[in-house]
Amino acid sequence: MPNARGHRNDKLAWFWSMDIPKDTEGSDWMSECTLVYRVHWLRAKATKDRWREEVEILKAEFQWTVNFFNKRAEDWTHLAVDSQTKGQHGAASYAARQSSMYGQLRDQCQISLESHHPARATRNISSLF
């Protein structure tokens, strides 16, 4: 996609610039061969693009998970404070324990997310499938 953003300097594969009428004057098999190359190249590019998109989606889902655990920890912290101020010590204790659990899950996910930089994340995520 040479016209897409960030692809201004991309080079097309050699078979896209072939002079098909001139190159196929003597044989029909050359045009069929070129068609096969083009179809194969397009399929390979589509596969690569799908995997790149999948990696981006997985990274986003990972961040969404961290955000979810963070939100739940904050919610339980607020419930613990409210319960404590109302004198409901059992409810406050339970809410504090839940807040701690979600905080630990958030921290574990954050550590795991930060340990995967883009070059390694692509290799590790694609090896899962």
CB crowding 111-129: b at 16 or more within 10 Å, else e: eeeeebeeeebbeebeeee
Tokens 């930060």 identify what position? 114
Residue 81 lies in a domain: yes
Indicate the pTM of the whole model.
Answer: 0.57
d(CA 106, CA 10): 40
Domain count of the fold of the chain: 1
The answer to whether position 8 is within a domain reads no
- 51: in domain: yes
pLDDT in tens, 17-66: 666 555 555 556 556 667 777 788 888 889 999 999 998 998 889 889 99
pLDDT digits (tens, 9 = 90+) for 72-122: 999 999 999 999 999 999 999 999 999 999 999 999 988 888 887 544 444
Q: Looking at the domain assignment, is residue 17 inside a domain?
A: no
> Residue 109 is part of which domain span?
27-126
- The answer to the question of residue 15 being in a domain is no
Residue 67: inside a domain, yes or no?
Answer: yes
List of residues 6+ apart from 70 with CB closer than 8 A: 102, 106
